[in-house]
Structure 1
Amino acid sequence: MNRTTRKGGLDLSKMRMFPSQVSMPLRRHGVDPVPELAKVREAEPVHKLAHLFGLNVWVVSGHAEAKAVLADSTNFSNDIRPLVGSDPNKPSEGIGGLGFTDPPDHTRLRKLLTPEFTKRRLARLEPAIEKIVQDQLDLMEAKGPVADIVSDFAFNVPFLLIADLLGVEESDRDRFRALGPARFDLSGGGIGVFGSASESRDFLFEIVRKQRKNPGDGLIGSIIREQGDDIDDVELGGLADGVFLGGYETSASMLALGTLVLMRNPENFERIRNEPGAVDAIVEELLRYLTVVQVAFPRFARHDQELFGQQVKKGDLVAVSLSGADRDKEVFGPDAEEFWPRRAPAAHLAFGHGMHRCVGAELARMELRAAFSALAHRFPDLSLAIPEEQLRFRDFSIVYGVETLPVQLHAAEPEQVAG
């Protein structure tokens, strides 16, 4: 009997709004998690957040506790199908992707992607990344003196790269572009999230079916040529969807929010321009400080168990707060709530941990280093065009972001200032 039946027919995909009791780990003030999250972490790093529809919902916000849960596939499952109205006995209804898959399927599918994301393989993408970044900066320059980092830069760079990586044809890209942001917006409940997910997967299934007949030069075509019928359309579409999901909206949010944080102190861009290797440390601190993927894929307890002093029941949902764990003072020091680009290296969880850690982590780092370096050199006086308090952030989204980020590309001329 699956969890849906045992729990009274709960189907997240049919919920029109998510209960407010579970929203706290997804709320922020500006770029910072709400103070309640830090209070919960200090008092109970494993905390019972709510009891809904016969289901306990736990949030894990301590760094050590988060790593332990993320690495534990023995006591926890990532299989979400029973809570989205699908039948585990019908593979054609599979949700696809790695994030909601358990071993041995996860192990088999991840092996297909891992070779494509090694440092050696990714090195071949560096020229493409540099060109995409420079082309977008050229377009911003032409549009200036004011541009929107979100729409004019942050979304375009990862979109073009992921489309090239997957092998999505030019004729399909306009439709493809619109499928990302709604995947993480919980303000409309499960209907919006799972509806967007279904549309995205259906689109990628179409791409897979087309490339079965004529494999392209990208990742989809490469896997088809190597695996043939050993991988079906649902699995391959799910893998492609996971690459799209992990590499588009997340990188776009990091580029936009990272630019906002860097603009707060001109020294940040100056260091990127003048100190060899500074951008590497700055990117790592931005990843930790922002942790735009706020919670990891949900885990479900496989059996009754004690979890760091708490009694977790079989079927309970365990949500790991990545943003909470990455502000843990026990690991990152008393100034963990601050952005400090000279911080000593520590193991942040911005890409997750364990077997579900983001397979494209190194690609994301390459994008961020290239983009921030290029911004610092092209627009050394980059500044906000409006007061920061007027910015609008996503209120309730798994991947946190800012709606728009208007920037002044160059310092005002003296006569403009005088005027």
Structure 2
Amino acid sequence: MSNDTPRPGAVPQMLRSDLGPVDELRQAQADGTLLKGASPDGSPVRLVTRFEQAQDVLADPGRFSSRATTRFLGGDRGDDRAANAGNLLLMDPPEHSRLRRMCAGEFTVRHVRALQPRVATIVENCLDAIEAQGSDFDLIAEFTRPISSLVICELLGVPDADRDEFQDVAARRIDAGRSLQARTQAAREAAEYMGKLVARVRAAPGDDLLGRLVREHGDAITEPELVGLANLLLIAGHQTTADMIGLSVLVLLREPERAARLRDGQDAVAPTVEELLRVLSTVSVSTPRRATEATDVGGHRLEVGETVVVSFSAANRDPERFTDADTFDVDRTPRPHLAFGHGAHYCLGAALARLELATALPALLRRFPHLALVDRPLDPLPPGPFFGLASLMVRK
């Protein structure tokens, strides 16, 4: 699967060569340079590709503000506080810290483990539906998207009657193949839907994330902040997990012996999930960071106001950090990766994403022990901040 040929508006940090970074990013990494690039709206950015440099940038919100002035997704601007209320990705401490503390309890490992029976039921229901169909099916449409969408609906308390609308607006909100105008319109629609959902929750808080936030924090969390948080979970929790499950199956089916080992319990699930997260890095890039002072990154000068973006796909395959960095090796000595980011903005939903992967992958391989790829060209999504497949045809 090669995305080496740039599309209009595509930028190197959002392109892939098969599953890895494109040569331009690899060369910058080898040279230790900060590649000059552009954001989707044309704003100039400097690209960070080395692991240690990426950690330095992500760990220091004092020097590198998340209130950047470039667009990351349609409708997102880090300098528009009203439009981005509740969007933790585009906030700095102490505002970021206040909201994150409110949400953190919902995403502890212990709390997420309590969701495991429900996640397992969602996975098994999807597998039941697939089993009733013919031998060939689209894994993305029939398995990965329904699972991630239904888990987020469960988390947010989205009513059953709204779930088709929810999934549609989620897909259009982050579709990099659409124009910026179309994605901005989808962002407005998502905000409108979330506004209605939050209003219902305020009136009658349920036993879900939004309901508990309302009950426990009341007026300390505003309507726009609740809407923004719900929108963030819609984007960060739905598409990225669907992408990870789909691409993980692709990697495993390309190595049938490895898939068999996972299916039969010979490979531990947790190390397999961590290695898949590292090699795939489905969130290709960080949100932009703006230098608040003249500073250095890896010996390269940045002036006040310059924007930097971390390439996770490159940093997670940095040969200075990982031996045989391009090899999918579940037996490698564990080393922390950047698939969930780093520092204050480390992904709140990391434990939930790990749970979904650890539940869905073995269940799929055990239900269909002869699962194999259908021989046809792969169908990657248009280049964007998230890396995944539009479809993946497989045979039971």
Note whether the superposition's TM-score is higher than 0.5: yes
Conserved? CA contact 1:46–1:65, under 8 Å: no
In structure 1, the partner of 2:146 is 156
* One-letter identity of the residue aligned with 2:250: L
Does residue 1:69 correspond to 2:69, yes or no?
no
Does residue 1:27 correspond to 2:15, yes or no?
yes
Distance in 1 between residues matched to 2:100 and 2:202, nearest whole Å:
20
Does residue 1:60 correspond to 2:48, yes or no?
yes
Give the match's secondary structure for 2:89. Answer: coil
- Pick one of 350, 353, 360 that aligns with 2:349: 360
- Pick one of 262, 265, 268 that aligns with 1:272: 262
1:45 shift after superposition? 4.4
Does residue 1:399 correspond to 2:386, yes or no?
yes
Identify if the C-alpha distance between structure 1 residues 140 and 337 changes in structure 2 by more than 3 Å, giving closer, same or farther.
same
Identify if the C-alpha distance between structure 1 residues 29 and 47 changes in structure 2 by more than 3 Å, giving closer, same or farther.
closer
Q: How many residues align?
A: 388
Identify if the C-alpha distance between structure 1 residues 378 and 87 changes in structure 2 by more than 3 Å, giving closer, same or farther.
closer
In structure 1, stretches of 5+ residues that fail to align are: 1-16, 410-419
- Pick one of 319, 322, 347 that aligns with 2:312: 322
In structure 2, the partner of 1:243 is 233
- Pick one of 153, 156, 160 that aligns with 1:166: 156
* One-letter identity of the residue aligned with 1:359: L
Query: What TM-score do you get using the length of structure 2 for normalisation?
Result: 0.92
1:183 shift after superposition? 3.3
In structure 2, the partner of 1:96 is 86
Give the match's secondary structure for 2:53. Answer: helix
Give the match's secondary structure for 1:99. Answer: helix
Conserved? CA contact 2:123–2:363, under 8 Å: yes
1:243 shift after superposition? 1.8
Identify if the C-alpha distance between structure 1 residues 379 and 55 changes in structure 2 by more than 3 Å, giving closer, same or farther.
closer
Distance in 2 between residues matched to 1:145 and 1:171, nearest whole Å:
30
RMSD: 2.4
Identity of aligned residues (%): 37
Distance in 2 between residues matched to 1:51 and 1:108, nearest whole Å:
29
| 1:325-379, Cα deviation, whole Å (9 max, x unpaired) | 001001111x212222222211110000001010010110010011011012111
| 1:215-264, Cα deviation, whole Å (9 max, x unpaired) | 12211111111111221111011111222222110000001111011001
Does residue 1:301 correspond to 2:291, yes or no?
yes
Distance in 2 between residues matched to 1:268 and 1:115, nearest whole Å:
35
List aligned pairs for 1:10-409, cutoff 5 A.
Answer: 20=9, 23-49=11-37, 56-80=44-68, 92-275=82-265, 278-333=268-323, 335-387=324-376, 390-409=377-396
Give the match's secondary structure for 1:329. Answer: coil
In structure 2, stretches of 5+ residues that fail to align are: 1-5
1:112 shift after superposition? 1.0
- Structure 1 window deviating more from structure 2 (131-140 vs 96-105): it is 96-105
- Structure 1 window deviating more from structure 2 (376-385 vs 265-274): it is 265-274
* One-letter identity of the residue aligned with 2:120: E
1:85 shift after superposition? 8.9
- Bigger radius of gyration, 1 or 2? 1
* One-letter identity of the residue aligned with 2:335: A
Identify if the C-alpha distance between structure 1 residues 187 and 351 changes in structure 2 by more than 3 Å, giving closer, same or farther.
same
* One-letter identity of the residue aligned with 2:200: K
Conserved? CA contact 1:257–1:401, under 8 Å: yes
Distance in 1 between residues matched to 2:193 and 2:119, nearest whole Å:
25
Conserved? CA contact 1:185–1:192, under 8 Å: no
Distance in 1 between residues matched to 2:81 and 2:279, nearest whole Å:
39
Query: What TM-score do you get using the length of structure 1 for normalisation?
Result: 0.87
Conserved? CA contact 2:155–2:209, under 8 Å: yes
